Amino acid sequence: MGGRLFGTDGVRGLANADLTPVLALRLATAAAQVLGGRRASAAASTPSRRPFGARPPEVVRRASPGRPLAVVGRDPRASGEMLEAAVAAGLASAGVDVILLGVLPTPAVAYLTGDLGADLGVVISASHNAMPDNGIKIFAAGGLKLDDSVEDDIARRMDDPGPLPTGEGVGRISRAEDADRLYLDHLLVATPNPLNGLRVVVDCAHGAASALAPEVYRRAGAEVVVIGGSPDGLNINAGVGSTYLTGLREAVVSEGADLGIAHDGDADRCLAVAADGSDVDGDVILALLAISLQDRGRLVDDTVVATVMANLGFHQAMAKAGIKVRTTAVGDRYVLEDMRAGGYSLGGEQSGHLILADHATTGDGLLSALHLMAAVAAAGQPLADLAKVVTRFPQVLINVRVADKGTVAAAPTVLDAVERAEQELGDSGRVLLRPSGTESLVRVMVEAGTAEQAHRIAERVAEVVAAV
C-alpha cells in the first residue's frame, strides 16, 4: 500500500493482498499504543450520549477495570472475520481489553465507543466498496474520528513499536452482550417524531444494517419492506445499496411505497428514492434536514457544512432559506472537523454521509433516514414535492481509473484541459477534478447549464486524464 497509509476514511485495500492480517495486527497494536492513554482528555470534552431509559453499559463487562478498552465491530464481508481476529490480537498484545461487537454499522461502533467509555473503537469495513476489499477505521475516545496528525503518529508507531506487555499485562478479548440494543434505543430517542403512516422500502446492501435498519424503522412507526437484507459474507454491495439504486427504484414503485432508503455496506450513508422512483441524493436530504432543523430552532447559527461536491442548486436553495453554507474538502472527516470547530449542528456530503451533531459524532445512515422520514411524516407531503426545494444543475461525474492518481491529477495536460473547460463554462457551471481518497481513481465532475454540455465537457476532460 504505497503513499500515506490512511486515506480519507481509514485504511483500505484488497483483503489478504493489500490489507493483510499482518498489517491489521500491526495497525491495531500501534493504534492501541497511541490512543490508549488519550481517554481522559477526550472523555472530559465529550458528554455522554446514552439516551434516557436505555440499559446501562454493564451489558458489556470489562475484563480488567482500569485497563484501556477497545470495541471492535465489522460489516459482514467474509474477510472481516479474519481481520477481526488480527485486530483483536493486535489490541490485546498492546495491553488493551477488547470487546467484539460483531456485525454492526460503523456509526453504531462510533456511538458505542463513547457510550461504553472505550479508549478507542475499530470498524472493519470497506463501506461501499466491492466484497474483495476491506478496510479499518479507527475512532478515538468519545467516538471521534482521528486527526491527520494522530493517524500519522499511528503509522510511525507501526514501524517503531514500543515494548509489549507480558503475563497479566496482556489484554483480554470477550464478546458483547446486547450492545446493539443500546444503539437502537439511542436512534429511537433521537427520532423527532413518529413515522406512522409511512410505507418504506429499505435496501440494506446485504450489509451491516441488514438486521438493525428494518427493526428500528418499524419500531419508529413505519411499515417496512426489505431488499438487500440477506448477507452471506460474499454479496455485500453486489448490485444493491446506495451505489446501485435501480432495484430500490423498482421496489418503491411496485410496492406502492411512500419512499425508499438506501444504505451502503457499513450504513454510514443514506440516499433516498421518492414514491415516483426519482432519486433524492445527499444534497437534497441535507437541504431538507437543514430546513427542518431551522424550523425547530436547532440549526446552529443557521449554518450547514457541505463539501465542494455540493450541487450549485443546493447552494441556491440554502440561500433562499436564509441558511449559510460552509464548504470543505471531500470526505466526511473534513465536514466533521469544520462542524466541531464551529459548533455546527448539521453537515454532510452528496454521497449521503450526513452528520447530525446533536446525536452523533460521525455520519449515520440510519439516523439520517429516521430524520428524513420524520420530516416527510410531519409535513404530510410526498418526498418528491419536498425535494423540489433544490433545483439541481445537471452534474456529471466520471471516475477514471489510473495507476498514480496524484501524478495524473497534477499533470500539465490535465490542468490545461480543466482550465479550458472552466473558460467555456464561465459563470454557468464549474469543473472539479480530484483524486479519490479511497480508490485508484481520478474523479472528474462537471456542472453546467444543460446535461448535454456537462456530459460533453466531462468526457473531454476524462479522455485527457485517461491518456496521461
Q: Which residues does the annotation mark as catalytic? A: 127
CA-to-CA distance for 310 and 393, rounded, in angstroms?
10
Q: Are 366 and 360 in contact (CB under 8 A)?
A: no
Taking CA atoms, 107 is separated from 144, 150, 156, 160, 404, in Å, by 11, 20, 27, 31, 31
CA-to-CA distance for 320 and 83, rounded, in angstroms?
48
Which residues make Cβ contacts (< 8 Å) with residue 340, sequence separation at least 6?
357
Label the pairing between strands 324-328 and 303-307: parallel
- List the beta bridge partners of residue 41: none
CA-to-CA distance for 390 and 137, rounded, in angstroms?
33
| Backbone φ and ψ of 271, nearest 5° | -120, 165
CA-to-CA distance for 82 and 90, rounded, in angstroms?
13
Q: Which three cell numbers stand for residue 148?
A: 491527520
CA-to-CA distance for 270 and 282, rounded, in angstroms?
7
CA-to-CA distance for 436 and 7, rounded, in angstroms?
9
Taking CA atoms, 267 is separated from 142, 242, 264, 396, 398, in Å, by 19, 9, 5, 25, 24
CA-to-CA distance for 410 and 398, rounded, in angstroms?
17
DSSP type of residue 15: B
E-only strand ranges, 154-275: 173-175, 199-203, 223-227, 259-262, 271-274
CB atoms within 10 A of CB 285: 25
Which residues make Cβ contacts (< 8 Å) with residue 49, sequence separation at least 6?
111, 114, 115, 186, 359
Q: Which three cell numbers stand for residue 291?
A: 430546513
